[in-house]
Chain A
Amino acid sequence: MSRRSGLIPAALIVVAGAAIAAESERTGLGHQATAEELGAAGYTVFPDGKGLPQGQGTAREGKAVYQQFCAACHGRSAQGEDAAALVGGRGSLTSERPRKTVESYWPYATTLWDYIRRSMPYESPGSLTNDEIYGVVAHFLDLMNLVGEDDVLDRESLPKVEMPNRDGFVPDDRPDTGG
């Protein structure tokens, strides 16, 4: 696995650390988080590409990764078999039966990268290399006609992909019922 530990601002660790040290002295519970434990904070990928590691892949390469590690659950064409449908549903959001998929609903392609690294394949998350993740993400985006089969996806190009539902969100204006 190619997890890199993130950089935690030193001041944050010192301030939080003092409070935690005092608490654990008093209660005998817990310990100050180590830099390694805090590494997870640098594990997040942001829509502007921050947090994306080195590496690259194309849809052509990713298709093979998909067939080997994902198709059993998500179906040969990612339309969903046992698990979630990843593509399709575009234009259905205003219909009686909206189909919320990655293609029709997710606002950012970087979210795919982040989620797959954290959680997929379901039984062995963390087992794909960064190149394989770039590839499989490219494969999905190719199925959605958002990139070409040989377009290289990397930390520069992935954040530039514009998802169809990018502008489909409004601020939460609840409460929408009641007093």
Chain B
Amino acid sequence: MPSMARDETSKYTDLLPDGKARQFTLVMDAKSVITRPSGEQKLDRPGFCEIRGLAWSGRGAISRVEVSTDGGGSWTDAEIEGPRYAKSFTRFRSPWRWDGRRHVLMSRATDDTGYVQPTLAALLEARGRATIYHNNRIKAWEVHESGEVTNVEA
């Protein structure tokens, strides 16, 4: 039997709406984040801007990353750079031309089990609001007309 230590029993367990909790939720599902442009950065001027970021998954290697510059309306495959290992940060990049207008940037990772990173709405639908760890929802950044980049929940 496991030792049932404090963090394993009370942190690495995810409480679901029916009052039962998953035990032990140690695996991190696929997740990604755009690191450039990202919160607190500023784009100097309209023009070429390479979107870059990191993706990872606790279940395998990253097989695909898509990027959206219109808040999830349309998606483009990003280029995945090596090395590409299971449970490891994997770099991706996607060329973009910023037209000086407001945009919401997102990235969506798929791992080699076929799992696709979910939206926040899908996560809330499946888990309710009481889980804390493993928030792997698609992350969005807002690029303002001023070039400033801020956190946004889209």
Give the B-binding residues of A (Cβ under 8 A). Answer: 44-48, 51, 93-94, 98, 100, 102, 105-108, 110-111, 114-115, 119, 168-179
Contact = CB atoms under 8 A, between A and B. Distances in A.
Contact of B10 (A45, A106, A174): A106
Given A46-B4, A172-B24, A105 B116 contact: no
Contacts of A107: 4, 9
29 contacts: A44-B5, A46-B4, A47-B4, A93-B15, A94-B17, A100-B15, A100-B130, A107-B4, A107-B9, A108-B4, A111-B10, A114-B3, A114-B5, A114-B6, A168-B19, A168-B20, A170-B20, A170-B22, A171-B22, A171-B23, A172-B22, A172-B25, A172-B27, A174-B134, A176-B126, A178-B115, A178-B117, A178-B118, A179-B115
B95 interface: no
Nearest to B124: A177
Tell me the dominant secondary structure on chain A's binding face.
loop
A115 B4 CA distance: 10
A40 to B, nearest CB: 12
Interface residues of B, number: 38
Contacts of B134: 174
Contacts of B154: none
Contacts of A48: 1
Interface of B: 1, 3-6, 9-10, 13-15, 17-27, 29-30, 59, 110, 113-118, 122-123, 125-127, 130, 134
A175 B4 contact: no
Contacts of A106: 6, 9-10
A46 B2 CA distance: 7
A22 B144 CA distance: 57
Given A47-B4, A169-B13, A175-B113, 16 more contacts: A46-B4, A93-B15, A98-B130, A106-B10, A108-B4, A111-B9, A170-B20, A170-B21, A172-B23, A172-B27, A174-B25, A175-B59, A177-B123, A178-B29, A178-B117, A179-B115
Nearest to A116: B6
Contacts of A44: 3, 5
B29 A175 contact: yes
Contacts of A178: 29-30, 115-118, 122
A114 B3 CA distance: 9
